[in-house]
Structure 1
Amino acid sequence: MAVGDGGRKGHKKSESDYIESKEDHSDLEENFSDPEDFIDDITDEELLPDILKQKPSPSDSFESVIVCDNIPKTGSEKLEKLTKLLKKLFSKFGNIVTEHIPLDSSGQTKGYMFLEYGSLSEAKEAARALNGHRLDKHHVFDVNLFSEFDKYTTVEANWTAPEPTPYKDPGNLQSWLLNKECLDQMSIIYNGGETTSVMLNSAPELTTVEERKHWTETYVRWSPLGSYLCTFHSKGIALWGGEHFKQIQRFSHTGVQLVDFSPCERYIVTFSPMPVSRSDTGVAESVIVWDIQTGNKKRGFPVDGPTTGWPFLKWSSDGNYFARLQMDAISVYELPSCGLLDKKSLKVTNVRDFEWSPDQSIISYWVPEGEACPARVSLIEIPSRKELRIRNLFSVADCKLHWQKSGDHLCVKVDRYAKKKLENNEIKYSGMYYNFEIFHVKKKQVPIDTVECKEVVSAFAWEPVGSKFAYIHGEAPRISVSFYKIGDEKITLLKTLEKRQCNSLFWCPAGQFIILAGLRNLNGVLEFVDSSDMTVMTSPQEHFMCTDVEWDPTGRYVSTAVSFWGHKMDNGFWLWNFQGRQISKNPMDGFCQLLWRPRPPSLLSAKQIKEIRKNMKEYSRTFEVQDLRSKSKASKDVLDKRKKMKDDFNVYRQRVAKVIEQQKSQRMELRNDIDTDELDSHTDNFEEEVIEFLVKVDETVIGE
C-alpha cells in the first residue's frame, strides 16, 4: 500500500509511480497528503469504536438533570449559604456536576433550582428520595426529572385511557372453612420431595384433598390466614388457592429460596441469593416486595449492612408498614407506596435488632453498651416516633426480644456478665447470669418486672393465649423447666419441673397445654403438660429421632415427624391429641414436611367465646356422639370397596337370573314338563340321586 494513502482504502499508487515520485523529489520533504481524487469510505465507527461509545447523546444532559421546586426565596446576601445547604443535601445521592439557582431582576431566588448529576441512576435516586422532603415547616421539596416535563407536555390530544384488565375470579379462597365437621387441612411432602399432598385430618384415616407430582421443587409455605399455598420453583414462586387449588398468581424471581407474607396477605416478600441488577440504577436486588392481587413488583432491596436473618423485612401487625435494619438506623416504609416513612430513617446508633408488636404499630429495639453508655431497650410508636419506654441495662452480653402473641407483654431475655474486674488493663468476667425484663406494654407508663435466673437458659416461650411463660434452664443431666404467671401486681413462679429431657417448648395455640420436647439428639422424648394445675397428663412418650413438632391451628391435635431432610431413617409422622394420646402412625417413604393450614381469627366476640366455654358440657355431648360414630365407621376406602363388591355381585346375579329364565323351557322339556324350580326337595315328585366319580388313585409303597 502506498505511503501517501494513510493506510486507507480508495485511490492507490502503483510501485512505479512511487519510485518515480521518489526520484523526482528526493531533495524535498515527503508529502503525506491525499490526492485530490482520493475517496475516504471508512466510517468513524470502524476507526474509533471505543471512543464513540462514550459519545454523549442529545438527551443525556437532560435525563440526569433534576428540578427542585419550593426552595426558600432569599436575596443575594444569603444565596451562598443556601447553595451550600442544598448541595450538602443533594450530594448524598451522587456527584453533582453543575447546579443553577435562577434569580429574578432584583437578585432574589425564584424558588426552584436545577441540578445535574453524573448519571441517570443518581438523578433518579435523588428525585425519589427527596421528593416531599421537608426542609422546614414552610418549604417542602417537589423534585422531578427534567425529562419528565417534556413527557407530560407532549401528551396526545386524542389520548385514550387503557382498557381495564378483565377480572379473574380466583374462587372461594376460604372454601376449606365450610367443612361441616370443622376438620383441618395439612400439606405433606413425601417421596423425597417428588409428591405434595393436601390432606384432611379425618378419622380413622386421612383423606386426600389434592395430590400432585412435582408440585414444588423444594418446600411449600401457607399464607398467615391460610388463603394461599406457596410453591417454590427455579424461576420463581406460585400461589395456589380455592377449592381445587388453582394457580392464583406467580412471581418471577430466579433462584428464590425464602418467602414471607404480610399479616394481611396483601403482599409477599421473596429472597434469592442471586441478586438481579436493575437496568436503571444498577443496584443488585436480592429481596423483592410484591403485590399479591396484581402480581406487580412494589420495590426491591439489596442485602447489605447488618442483618438478623430472615425475615429481612419485618411487618407491622396490620400490614401498613414494614421495616428493615440498617447501619445505625431502622428504616420504616409505608404501604402501598413502599416509600420511606416521613422520608427519613429512625436514627439509632449501633442498633442490633428490633421486633414489631403483634397487635400494635410499636417497634421494640435494643442497643449494646458503648464506652460511656449502658445498653438500652426502647419502645417506639409508629408513625409518631414517640418513645413509650426506655430501659437501661448494664453488663450486657446479648439480648433477645420475645413478644407475647396478644401484644400485652414483651420479654427481653438479657445475657449478663456476673462480675467484671480489671486485670492487666483488660476487663475480665467471672461468669454469666440471665434476666427476663417483662414490659407490661398496655399498662400506664409501661411498668417493668424482672425475673432472674442463675443457670444457662436454652429456650423461652410465651403462652399464646393467657399470661404464662416458660423457659428451659440448666445443663444435662439437670435440665429443668420453670413456669411463671403474670398477675395484676407481681410475677409468680408456678412450678419448676426438674430433671427433664427437653430442648424445645411448644405451646398449644389455644393456650394452657404445652409440650416439652427433646428433639433430635434427645431421641424425641415428649411430655404433655397441663399448665392450669401443672400436671403431666401422660407418662413421657417417645417418637424416636423426632425432628418437628406442629400444633394444628385449633389446638386439638399435634403432629410429630421425622423428616427426610433431617434424618434418613424411620421417616413419617404421628398424630396425637392435646392430652398426649396417640391417634395414628403414618410412616411414609421419603417424608419431608408437614404443615397445618392456618385459620383466620374467629369472627366471634370475646363475650360469645366466653359464653360457649361456659356451656361446653352441653355442646360436648353432641361432639361425643359424632366421635363415637366416626370410630365405629370403617375407613372410606373399605366402605367404597365393599360397596363396589356388592354392586358387582348384584349385576352378576341379575345377568345369571336372566339366563336361567331363558333356559327354563329347555329344562322343563328335559324333565317331562316338571317345573323343578317350584318343587320342594322333600316332596315325592322329586328324587335325589347321588353320582360318584373316581378322581384319582394314589399308591404308597411301604418299605420293609
Structure 2
Amino acid sequence: MASGDLQAVDDNDQNNDIQLKKQHLENGFHEEPDFSDPEDFVDDITDEDLLSHLLRQKPTEQSGLQNVVIVDRIPQVGPERAEKLKTVLFKLFSKCGKIMNEFYPLDETNQTKGYVFFEYENPEQALDAVKTYDGHKLDKQHVFAVNQFTDIDKYVNIPDEIEDPQIQEYSTRGNLYYWLFEPECYDQYSVLYEAGEMTAVFLNSTPEPSLLKERKLWTEQNIQWSPLGTYMATFHKRGIALWGGEDFTQLARFAHDSVNLIDFSPCEKYITTLSQQLVMANDANAIIIWDIRTQTKKRAFSADPSQHLIWPIFKWSFDDKYFARIYADSLSIYETPSFGLLDKKSTKIAGIRNFTWSPSQNILAYWVAEDQNVPARVTLIEIPSRNEIRAKNLFNVADCKMHWQKCGDYLCVKVDRYTKAKKEKNEFKYSGMYFNFEVFHMREKQIPVDSLEIKEQIVAFSWEPVGNKFAIIHGEGPSTYSVSFYGIKSGVTVSLLKKFDSKQCNHLFWSPSGQFIVLASLRSTAHTLEFIDTSDFTITNTTDHFQVTDVEWDPTGRYVTTGVSNWAHKVDNSYWLWSFQGRLIRKHNLDRFCQLLWRPRPPTLLSDEKIKEIKKNLKQYSAQFDIKDRMALSKVSKDMLEKRQKLMKEFEENRQKNERMFNTTKKRRNELRSEDNIEDKEDDETEETVEFLIKEEITTIDENDD
C-alpha cells in the first residue's frame, strides 16, 4: 500500500472518531464512556455461575478417547493376509456400532503387531464392543482382550504393593419391612403439599390418619415408592436418595446430576436414573443403572438427544435377570449381573416399534410395523433361548399397544387399523379407522388368539388385575362415552358381559384385588366418579369431586383416594378418602396439595389354596372383624369422652382459680377507686328490660261459638 493510501486511511479514522464524539454529545454524553473496571475491582462471579451450561461441554483430555477400543491378541500376519484379517475383524466389531476409523500398527517388516484400534461413533458402542468381545475366541490360538483406550491410565497406575481394604464396621439399617407388621393392617401413604416444599408420610388409621414423618424440602421434584414398598425415593440436584426403616433414615445415595426420571427393577435390586441435561449434551453417563444394595454403578449409557425419549428406555424382566432396549432397529437384551449383551449379540429386527415383558415369565412380546407388502407382526419369544413361541400377522396397521394382564395369563394387543384403502391417482387413501383387540391366551396350549373388533374410537383400556375381565371406554364423545366389560370364559371365547351407555368418564381404575372399578372423568368439565361392582355390575355410587386430577387405590383395594393437584389447579387443592363401594370417609384440605401415593405392598405369601379357603370362610372372618370394628369404635368413643372430660376438668379448675383471684383482689380494687367515681358510676347505672318472643300460638275462634 502506498504512503498516500495510508494517509487517507488515517484521515478517515480521525473523521470517524470526530463524528462518534459529536454523536455522544448529541445524546447527552459530555465525554466518551469508559467501560473498563477500576483498579481495585474484584470480580466475585465465577465462570461456573455464568457459563455452567457451556462448561459442562468443555473438552477434556479424555474427550473422544472413550469412543476408541484396543483389541489385543489378534493374529500377527504379513501383507498377504492382512486384508482378510481386516475383513474378518471389521465384520465382527461393526455389529456393535458404526466404526469411524481403524488402525493396525505394523512392525519393520509390515507385519501386524497383534493389536488394533477401532474408533466408534459414540462411547456406548465402544463399551458394547468391550462387553461383547472381551474374551471372544477367534480360534484355538487367539482369544481377544478388548479394552477402552481410556483404561490405559487405570492399568498403568496400578500400585505395586497391594493394600488390604479397610474393614468397615457393620451398621444395621433396621427392619425395612416393619410396616407390614402393623396390627390393624393400616397402610401408609405419602403426601406432597405446599407446592412441593413439604413432604409427609401418614398411617391410614381411623378415625383420623396418624402422622409418621414430616420434613420440609425433603425432595426437589416429587417422590416415588419402589415397587415392593421398601424404599421411598426423593429427587435432588445432585442425584437420588432412598429412605426407609421406622424413622425413614437415608439408606442410599446415587450421585447423578439433575436427575429427572428414575425406574426401579421389579425386585428392587437395581435402579435406573436419567438426566435430561446430560442427554442433551450427549453425555456417556446420561443413563446409569445402579445396584441398590451396594450403591455401585453397574453400567452407563448415552441417549440420542434428537430422538423422542420414551421412558423407561430399559424394560426389566419380572425377576430382574434381564433388561432390554430398542436401539437402531435392533433389540438389545442384557443380562445381570454381568450387564453385558445376552449371548454377546443384539437381535436385528427391521421395523421394530415397541416391546414389553410378561409380568410372570421370561417371555418378551414385540411388534414390527408394516413395510410395503410385508404385514405388521406381533411376536412372542422366550428368553434366553430367543425361540419364537407365537406370532400374529396384522394388516393395515397404524399403531399397536400391548397390555399384559397383571398375572401374565393374557396379553391384549390393541391394533389401530385403517379401513380399506382406495387407490386415487396412484396413491392409496384411507377413509377412516377401526380397532381390533387381539387377545393371546398365554396359559393355553399353542397360545390361541381371540379377536374383538370395535368400530368406535377407543378412549381407555384396562385389565382386571386379578381375574379374566377387561374394560373399554369407547365412543365418539366428547361429552359421553360407552363403557363395555368383556370376560374370557372357558376356551378362547371373549364375550360381552355388560355395556353402560352415556357415561361421562375417560379413565378406568381397577381395584388391585379386582372386582371393583372406578370410572372417572379426570381433567375435564365433568368431574364425575362412578363406583361399580363387576360381580353383578351394580353401580354402588355415583358422585363427583370438583376438578379431580388423580385417583389412587390403596394396595389392598379397601380404599381409594381422589385428589386435586396444585400442579394442575391452583385452587380447591385437597384429597378425599373413599371406601371401595364409594362411601366418602373423610376430606383433607391441604395447602397447595400436589401428590398422594400409597406405599405398595409385596405380593402375598399365601398359596392359592389358602386364599380360596379364606374366601370360602369369609363370613366367619367378617363376623370377627365386625366385633373388632365395634370395639374400635367404642374405644374411639371412650377416648373422645375421656378427652372431653379432661378438657372440662381443666376449664373448671382454671375458672375456679380465676374466681378465687377475683374475690381476693376485690377489696383492694374497691380501695383504688374513689368514692366519687363509685357514686357517679352508681348514678349512671340504668336498668334495661329486654323482651323477646318465646312462642307464638294462633287460635281460631268460631263465630258461632257463644
Q: Tell me: CA distance 1:147–1:471, structure 2 relative to 1, closer, same or farther (3 Å).
A: closer
Q: Could you tell which deviates more after superposition, 316-325 or 624-633?
A: 624-633
Question: How many angstroms apart in 1 are the aligned matches of 2:517 and 2:261?
Answer: 29
C-alpha distance in structure 2 between counterparts of 1:550 and 1:518, whole Å = 14
| 1:523–1:546 contact (8 Å) kept in structure 2 | no
1:327-476 pair list within 5 angstroms: 327-476=328-477
CA distance in 2, matches of 1:184, 1:102: 76
Corresponding residue for 1:528? 531
Residue pairs, 1:471-482, within 5 angstroms:
471-476=472-477, 477-482=479-484
Q: Deviations over 1:317-349 (max 9, x none)?
A: 111111112120111111122212122112111
- Of the three residues 104, 128, 144, the one matched with 1:98 is 104
The answer (yes or no) to whether the contact 1:102–1:113 under 8 Å persists in 2 is no
Percent of pairs with identical residues: 53
Larger Rg belongs to: 1
Task: Identify the residue that residue 542 of structure 1 maps to in structure 2.
Answer: 544
Per-residue deviation at 1:83? 3.4
Q: 2:70 aligns with which of 66, 69, 87?
A: 66
Q: Which residue in 1 is equivalent to 2:218?
A: 215
- The equivalent of 2:249 in structure 1 is 246
Show CA shifts across 1:432-466 (max 9, x none).
11100001122221110001101111100000000
Q: How far off its partner does 1:359 sit?
A: 1.0
| Closer, same or farther: CA 134–611 of 1 in aligned 2, 3 Å | farther
Greater shift after overlay, 327-336 or 78-87? 78-87
CA contact (8 A) 1:556 1:578 kept: yes
The match for 1:35 is none
Equivalent residue letter for 1:213: K
Stretch of structure 1 that moved more, 230-239 or 410-419 = 230-239
C-alpha deviations, 1:372-404, integer Å up to 9, x for none? 200111111111111111110001111101011
Q: Which moved more, 1:632-641 or 1:362-371?
A: 632-641
Unaligned runs of 5+ in 1: 1-53, 657-693
1:558 aligned to 2:527? no
From 170, 173, 183, the counterpart of 2:176: 173
Question: What residue number does 2:204 align with?
Answer: 201
Task: Indicate if the aligned counterparts of 1:193 and 1:218 stay in contact, CA closer than 8 A.
Answer: yes
* Structure 2 spans left out of the alignment, 5+ residues: 1-58, 659-679, 690-706
- The answer as to 2:583 corresponding to 1:581 is yes
Partner of 2:19: none
Which AA in structure 2 matches 1:300?
Answer: A
Q: SS at 2:208's partner residue?
A: coil
Q: CA deviation at 1:88?
A: 3.9
Bigger Cα displacement from structure 2, 129-138 vs 323-332: 129-138
Summarize deviations over 1:617-668 as a string: whole Å, max 9, x none: 1111121122223334448995785586489689999999xxxxxxxxxxxx
Q: Distance in 1 between matches of 2:642 and 2:294?
A: 43
Q: Alpha carbons of 1:148 and 1:597: their partners in 2 closer, same or farther (altered >3 Å)?
A: closer
Residue identity matched to 2:605 = L
Q: Does 1:84 align with 2:71?
A: no
Supply the distance in 1 between the matched residues of 2:151 and 2:546 (Cα, whole angstroms). Answer: 66
Per-residue deviation, 1:283 = 4.2
Partner residue in 1 for 2:299: 299
The code of the aligned residue for 2:327 comes to Q
Q: Which amino acid aligns with 1:501?
A: Q
Residues in 2 aligned to 1:504 and 1:151: alpha-carbon distance in whole angstroms: 54
The match for 1:229 among 228, 232, 248 is 232
Q: Distance in 1 between matches of 2:252 and 2:638?
A: 34
Question: Residues 317 and 357 of structure 2 are in contact (CA less than 8 Å); yes or no, is this contact kept in structure 1?
Answer: yes
2: CA distance, partners of 1:277 / 1:577? 45
> What is the match of residue 290 of structure 2?
290
Aligned-partner SS, 1:115 = strand
Q: Which amino acid aligns with 1:630?
A: A
Match of 2:500 in 1: 497
Say if 1:478 and 1:626 are closer, same or farther in 2 by CA, change over 3 A.
same
TM alignment of 1:258-337, pairs within 5 A: 258-275=261-278, 283-304=283-304, 309-337=310-338
* Equivalent residue, structure 2, for 1:192: 195
Is contact 2:71–2:117 with CA below 8 Å preserved after alignment?
no
Structure 1 residues 633 and 519 mapped into 2: Cα distance closer, same or farther (>3 Å)? farther
Backbone CA RMSD of aligned residues:
3.8
Shift in CA distance, 610/82, structure 1 to aligned 2, threshold 3 Å: same
TM-score (normalised: structure 1): 0.77
- Secondary structure (helix, strand or coil) at the match of 2:416 reads strand
Deviation at 1:245, TM superposition (A): 0.3
**Residue pair 1:101, 1:114 contacting (<8 A) in 2 also:** no
* Contact map agreement 1:306 1:327 (CA 8 A) in 2: no
* C-alpha distance in structure 2 between counterparts of 1:330 and 1:224, whole Å: 25
Q: Structure 2 counterpart of 1:291, which letter?
A: D
Deviation at 1:167, TM superposition (A): 2.7
Helix, strand or coil: the match of 2:439?
Answer: strand
CA contact (8 A) 1:205 1:635 kept: no
Structure 1 residues 402, 160: closer, same or farther in 2, change over 3 A?
same
CA contact (8 A) 1:518 1:524 kept: yes
| d(CA) in 2 for partners of 1:483, 1:584 | 30
- Tell me the secondary structure at the aligned position of residue 476 of structure 2: coil
Provide the C-alpha distance between the structure 2 equivalents of 1:642 and 1:248, rounded to a whole number of angstroms: 42
